Structure 1
Amino acid sequence: MKTTTLIRRAVLAAAAIATLAALAGPARAGDLEVLHWWTSGGEAKAISGLKDSLQAKGHRWKDFAVAGGAGDAAMTVLKSRAISGNAPTAAQIKGPLLQDWAAEGMLANIDTVAQAERWDELLLPVISDIVKYKGHYIAVPVNVHRVNWLWINPEAMKKAGVKPPTTWDEFFAAADALKKAGVIPLAHGGQSWQDFTTFETVVLGTGGPAFYRKALIQLDPASLKSPTMEKSLATFRRLKAYTDRNAPGRDWNLATAMVMKGEAAMQIMGDWAKGEFLAAGKTAGKDFLCVPAPGTAKSYTFNVDSFAMFKVKGEANQQAQRDMASAILSPAVQESFNLEKGSIPVRQGVSLARYDDCAKASAADFAEAGKAGTLLPSIAHGMAVRAAAEGALKDVVSQFWNSDAITPAQAMDRLVAAAKAQ
């Protein structure tokens, strides 16, 4: 069933329950039930700072965490809650999915906060456009994650006598040397969103930003069925031989732990992985390295987390929402949250003095990519296309990854068909 259909049913159910709630009396003042999927070590530390800042204002925070790296499980729970007329106060929603919820009238307008605090000046248009619906703010962005990172254990690379790769040819040469040295070259978790994170990074490194935009954002059929896509699929499949047999079903943070321990040398993952390194007391540039994935140095695939505010009853609860929106974009929370999360502040002008070299490099590359027009939304992380097309494309890519019987030509035909779900 389409997302918009589910949301439409939710609106009707919510209206009925809201009427009953109004007859029963006002809700408890200052309550914030917040749905998110930040449950790993670094993520949990990041969200706790936001929670503390709101509790300090007297609001009651009810943590509604649903585990799952890409948020698929959380979105399933959210739909269920919304259909029953029991949506949380705020929910971690991002990308085009925000538009679906807003179109059905379920999200609160937070323009009063945005205008008072000049969000249009604090946020780049590429970010503010994501969290607006028909020109009005309906969500608040939290951070900017770079997705196209390659995380490296320098000791493992030293053991094999190899350097961080900058091209896919260099990657495979290094991977062969690592295998001979008894080190797993690539840590991976066989989940659809992790498969697609790797796939979109390969597409970017193989075809460049213009091809990425046409194929994975515009879903151009000719690009999805082209020699460049065929080469991308072949490169993507080749990577599997350098993962380990226990990869299927592995959570992303466990794959990061493999790199941390030196069991694996590299991981293709967004910079939330850095939050895990930092939570374990590791130091960037010493215990781990961050470099752009092969072939992607001049581009930046991004994932912007954001919180949408659902319509709630009672002025105290509405004020709690406004305070949450304000807190998220405050310089203090922007600094503390992103220090723990591994991301960089979405608010412009926040000092990076306390940030490590990976974050400073990410911020510099984000600015440069913005000027060059190579800032690209990550399809793997819900930033580029509608949910139906994203899910269908992920299915195709994971099926290709898991079955050598599927040829690149067949996979391209399936990608074209999946794109029609948009």
Structure 2
Amino acid sequence: MKVRAIMAALCATGLMAGISAAQAAESVEVLHWWTSGGESKAVGVLKDDMTKQGYTWKDFAVAGGAGAAAMTALKTQVISGNAPTAAQIKGPLIKDWADQGVLVNIDQAAGDWKKNLPPQIDKIMQADGHYVAAPFSVHRVNWLYINKAALDKAGGKVPTTWPEFFAVADKMKAAGIMPIAMGGQPWQDLTLWEDVVLSQGADFYKKALVDLDQKTLTSDKMLQVFDTVRKIQGYFDTGRTGRDWNLATAMVINNKAGMQFMGDWAKGEFANANKKAGSDYLCAPVPGTDKAYTFNVDSFVFFQQKGQKAATPGQLAMAKTIMSPEFQEQFSLNKGSVPVRLGVSMAKFDDCAKKSYADEQAAIQAGGYVPSLAHGMAQSDATAGAISDVVTKFMNSSQDSKSAVQALAKAAKTK
């Protein structure tokens, strides 16, 4: 009886997790695109947690910030009958994979999720009334990062409007500082562009990029969006072609540039370089977007394994681990995000993360919580890809704003 009591106590505290033969024998293959310094450190938290539970971690990392290469690799694996245990997928793509009948139901691991997730995100994790994906964290996309030393040298202040932003950029330029670090990939172009769309108001953003309303897409406000983006481009350096996002972030970290438009995963790079928010760098909402929040949610979906229709013990353990308060906290501390699970303590987080979490809660209540188009949360791949092509063409040519708006309206009809 004493032995049974001790074993029960150990099981209750999780200390016996992973000792069964089934668990010890199960290998979990995980496909993701977290390959930068801060990202690798974050995913390492899950690897360590799963290893402690007795599972063998098989890492399937595919480099590429927006995940396009990873999605190509995933399709190849699934078609060949070698689907990974779990794969990083976002937004509408979750339902697309579920509709193909290749995902498993993880309801068994999701008992308390509904009350602990924002409604907008809880809905995305389900297909046909069942949970098929586990969310890691929430990234705010509409952030502007500023090198504090560069701002101080230029004698500027954190900009809250576009006129203030351009004034700061001009002061940095006059002080011999490259104003904006920018990468040269389509998803980075689209990230900047959607930031400017959001600066016209959350309602405008929703009508344009969620509802794809033709009147909004062809409005004078949309012309202003393209005009503003063109003006911002005047502060880029000439070497951005092909530059990855984390290399642009490194330019701000290493005093090579003053500012960067990027989601809060960039904060993981600052943390990895031992830079502190408030003293080494500042984070602020993109000018004109302080009341809004474009969200990007990283999630894992779980694929049917050979000979099995139901979730394996490893898949259920992974889903449950991902949504545990302890993991949510530790993962986001490394990733630069904020916990997707509501109610997780923010005590250990820096000022940027605390502001992100507070702004998120306010935006949810005020209707300013909107899905990122650039990061796969708002539209199908086909529609988002067509819009991305329009933006990238505009930003890499001398095309005028009027013809870009016309192209945008046409692209939005792509299904």
The TM-score with structure 2 as length reference comes to 0.93
Structure-1 residue corresponding to 2:323? 329
1:288-299 counterparts in 2 under 5 A? 288-299=281-292
1:7-18 counterparts in 2 under 5 A? none
Q: 1:250 Cα shift? A: 0.5
* SS of match in other structure, 2:124: coil
Deviations 1:390-412 (A, max 9, x none): 111111100000001x1111111
* SS of match in other structure, 2:260: strand
Q: 1:79 Cα shift? A: 1.1
Structure-1 residue corresponding to 2:336? 342
Matched, 1:366 2:360: yes
Distance 2:198 2:23 in 1: 49
Cα contact 1:302–1:375 (8 A) shared by 2: yes
Distance 2:307 2:75 in 1: 23
Cα contact 1:35–1:88 (8 A) shared by 2: yes
* SS of match in other structure, 2:289: coil
| Aligned partner of 2:56 among 55, 60, 63 | 60
Matched, 1:142 2:145: no
1:87-236 counterparts in 2 under 5 A? 87-115=83-111, 118-205=112-199, 207-236=200-229
Cα contact 1:139–1:307 (8 A) shared by 2: yes
| Aligned partner of 2:373 among 379, 400, 406 | 379
Give, as a single letter, the amino acid of the residue that structure 1 aligns with 2:296.
N
Give, as a single letter, the amino acid of the residue that structure 2 aligns with 1:39.
T
Cα contact 2:106–2:311 (8 A) shared by 1: no
Cα contact 1:187–1:255 (8 A) shared by 2: yes
Deviates more, 1:54-63 or 1:309-318: 309-318
Q: 1:173 Cα shift? A: 1.1
Give, as a single letter, the amino acid of the residue that structure 1 aligns with 2:226.
L
| Aligned partner of 2:293 among 297, 300, 303 | 300
| Aligned partner of 1:249 among 234, 242, 245 | 242
Cα contact 1:147–1:269 (8 A) shared by 2: yes
Structure-2 residue corresponding to 1:15? none
* SS of match in other structure, 2:158: coil
Residues 385 and 296 of structure 1: CA distance in aligned 2, closer, same or farther (over 3 Å): same
* SS of match in other structure, 2:266: helix
Give, as a single letter, the amino acid of the residue that structure 2 aligns with 1:90.
A
Q: Which runs of 5+ in 1 are unaligned?
A: 1-25
Distance 1:112 1:317 in 2: 9
Q: 1:359 Cα shift? A: 0.6
Structure-2 residue corresponding to 1:83? 79
Moved over 2 A (4+): 26-29, 313-317
Give, as a single letter, the amino acid of the residue that structure 2 aligns with 1:372.
A
Q: 1:317 Cα shift? A: 7.6
* SS of match in other structure, 1:186: coil
* SS of match in other structure, 1:291: strand
Deviations 1:162-219 (A, max 9, x none): 11111011111111111111111111001000000000001111x2111000111111
Q: 1:53 Cα shift? A: 0.4
Cα contact 2:24–2:55 (8 A) shared by 1: no
| Number of aligned positions between the proteins | 393
| Aligned partner of 1:413 among 403, 406, 413 | 406
Cα contact 2:24–2:56 (8 A) shared by 1: no
Structure-2 residue corresponding to 1:273? 266
Q: 1:28 Cα shift? A: 9.3
CA RMSD of aligned residues (A): 1.5
Cα contact 2:28–2:58 (8 A) shared by 1: yes
Cα contact 1:27–1:313 (8 A) shared by 2: no
Matched, 1:357 2:351: yes
Distance 2:351 2:97 in 1: 37
Cα contact 1:30–1:317 (8 A) shared by 2: no
Identity of aligned residues (%): 57
Distance 2:34 2:380 in 1: 22
Cα contact 1:32–1:317 (8 A) shared by 2: no
Distance 2:342 2:165 in 1: 34
Distance 1:28 1:413 in 2: 58
Deviations 1:17-59 (A, max 9, x none): xxxxxxxxx9993111000000000000000011000011111
Structure-1 residue corresponding to 2:280? 287
Structure-2 residue corresponding to 1:17? none
Distance 1:301 1:65 in 2: 26
Distance 1:334 1:138 in 2: 18
Distance 2:413 2:23 in 1: 44
Residues 27 and 332 of structure 1: CA distance in aligned 2, closer, same or farther (over 3 Å): closer
Give, as a single letter, the amino acid of the residue that structure 2 aligns with 1:279.
N
* SS of match in other structure, 1:91: strand
1:29-44 counterparts in 2 under 5 A? 29-44=25-40
* SS of match in other structure, 1:276: helix
* SS of match in other structure, 2:234: helix
Q: 1:377 Cα shift? A: 0.3
Distance 2:256 2:72 in 1: 34
Q: 1:76 Cα shift? A: 1.1
Cα contact 2:23–2:54 (8 A) shared by 1: no
Give, as a single letter, the amino acid of the residue that structure 2 aligns with 1:144.
V
The TM-score with structure 1 as length reference comes to 0.91
Cα contact 2:198–2:289 (8 A) shared by 1: yes
